[in-house]
Amino acid sequence: MADISLRKVAKSYGKTSVVEALDLDIHSGEFIVVLGPSGCGKSTLLRMIAGLEEISGGEIAIEDRVVDRLEPRERGCAMVFQNYALYPHMTVADNIGYSLKVAGVPKAERRARIEKVAATLALDTLLDRRPAQLSGGQRQRVAMGRAMIREPKVFLFDEPLSNLDAKLRVQMRIEIRKLHNRLAATSIFVTHDQVEAMTLADRIVVMNAGKVEQVGTPLDLWNRPASRFVAGFVGSPPMNLVEATIAADGAGVLADGTRIDLPEHRLARDAAVIVGVRAEDVRIGPAVNDPRLVLGVEFIERLGSASLVHGRLAGADFVVTAPPALAEGAPEGLALTLPVDRLHLFDAVDGRRIETDASSVEALPIAFETVAAPAL
């Protein structure tokens, strides 16, 4: 295991900046997911840590050793790529053990280590096959085995699930997280898929246009997004965002003139804000004091256990989670209530979060009882 420290790490190609002065501390044994849209610099950041890209500024340290000028093989990192990068003419065993062969590890020791890694990844019955004879998920496990056998201090995953179908992606997410729990190695996983990030990460680094928007646990990002970008990127569906202006009494006035109650704040009259609320936090039915908040229904996604009602509210796209039965007979318009204690406010100019006196945007407490697992 290894700590990783990034200090003012930057990357540019000529006058084009790709990653801007990034600071980040990754703890030993931590699973970090770097999340962001295509072109935000997340894969470039991973490649700089691996040594596949030179940094334009700053410093990278692994285990308190500055590695900026070290070759990739000297950094103690192993990388799993999006395209697997397997040798098609080699068997699974030869692909997994190739780095040991190059390093001159004796054949008997090499075979023992290959079998151990293969057993961990459920590949022990496939060692004599070639990549063309494997499924996408099996090829990805071979790529992971090739990284594991080097016993690296750091695992680097560059969007390794992007080429898999939906079912395999779910299976491989579970396998990667279980593997991390067993090995307890420091892992950095790059993805544009916020579901992967939320399910895999100890902490998530959200990047946008080469900058870090927020670093935090999945629940931190869910409950207290630091910016409008994070609010709109993390979540499925993403958070609803509606423009409003602050009235003299502190209420919010939407673009169509509808007034809504807001959490306690210190904003001046006529200040422009963005009001955010998640689809599952919206209540269907009019508030006693404001029956005019109406969603113009456009279409419905029926997901089985629930439905997503899509429409327009005060000129903005808006989504509401609804019970399937209600959605089946949804009218052209739905009366809504926006619970004050579940609203988020963002500055309309810079997009940063506006802190309010409401504390209920935190996760609601759940009482539960733990019991000992039955003996197997």
Q: What's the CATH code of the domain at 61?
A: 3.40.50.300
Q: What is the pTM of this model?
A: 0.86
219 and 255 belong to one structural domain? no
Most confident of 30-44, 166-180, 351-365: 30-44
Distance of alpha carbon 305 from alpha carbon 298, whole angstroms: 20
Does the residue 359 lie in any domain? Answer: no
Q: Is residue 364 part of a domain?
A: no
Tokens representing 78 are 């192993």
Tokens for 259, please give them.
């007034």
Domain annotation covers residue 346: yes
Cβ count near 113 (within 10 Å): 18
Instruction: Write out the residue range of the structural domain in which residue 322 sits.
Output: 237-354
Instruction: Quote the DSSP letter at residue 233.
Output: H
Q: Is the domain of 305 the same as that of 269?
A: yes
- Reference 294, options 260, 264, 340; nearest CA is 260
Which tokens sit at 22? 């990034």
Q: Which three-class secondary structure state does DSSP give residue 143?
A: helix
Nearest-angstrom CA–CA distance, 41 and 35 = 10
For residue 361, is pLDDT > 80? Answer: no
In a domain, 75, yes or no: yes
Residues 207 and 247 in one domain: no
Answer yes or no: do 213 and 243 share one domain.
Answer: no
Q: Are residues 184 and 295 in the same domain?
A: no
Number of domains the chain contains: 2
pLDDT level of residue 289 (50, 70, 90 thresholds): low
pLDDT value for 224: 94
Backbone angles phi, psi at 114, to 5 degrees: -60, -45
Report the C-alpha gap between 351 and 326 in whole angstroms. 34
* pLDDT the model gives residue 55: 95
> Is the pLDDT confidence value at 360 over 50?
no
Q: Which range (125-129, 157-161, 330-334) has the least confidence?
A: 330-334
Residues 25 and 139 in one domain: yes
Strand partners, 5: 25, 61
The mean of the pLDDT values for the chain is 87
Residue 313, CA atoms < 13 Å, CB-side half-sphere = 29
**Would you say residue 358 has pLDDT above 90?**
no
Q: Does residue 361 lie within any of the structural domains?
A: no
Q: Does 76 score more than 60 pLDDT?
A: yes
Rounded Cα gap, residues 110 and 24, in angstroms: 36
33 and 158, same structural domain?
yes
Residue 230 lies inside a defined structural domain of this protein: no
Are the CB atoms for 222 and 231 separated by under 8 Å? Answer: no
- Given a cut of 70, whether residue 366 has pLDDT beyond it is no
Rounded distance between C-alpha atoms, residue 232 and residue 213, angstroms: 12
* Mean local confidence (pLDDT), 273-283: 94
Buried b (16+ CB within 10 A) or exposed e, 278-303: bbebbebeebeebeebbbebeebeee
Distance CA(309)–CA(303), nearest Å, equals 11
Tell which of 158, 188, 223 closes a domain: 223
Last residue of a domain, one of 178, 199, 223: 223
Q: For residues 53 and 90, state if they share a domain.
A: yes
Confidence tier at 370 by pLDDT (50, 70, 90): low
Mean pLDDT, residues 264-278 taken together: 93
In a domain, 366, yes or no: no
- Check whether residue 177 and residue 125 sit in a common domain: yes
How does pLDDT run across 108-128, given as a tens digit for each residue? 999 999 998 888 888 889 999
pLDDT exceeds 80 at position 285: no
Both 191 and 49 in one domain: the answer is yes
Position 71 scores a pLDDT of 93
The torsion angle over the Cα atoms of residues 78, 80, 81 and 86, rounded to 10 degrees, is 100
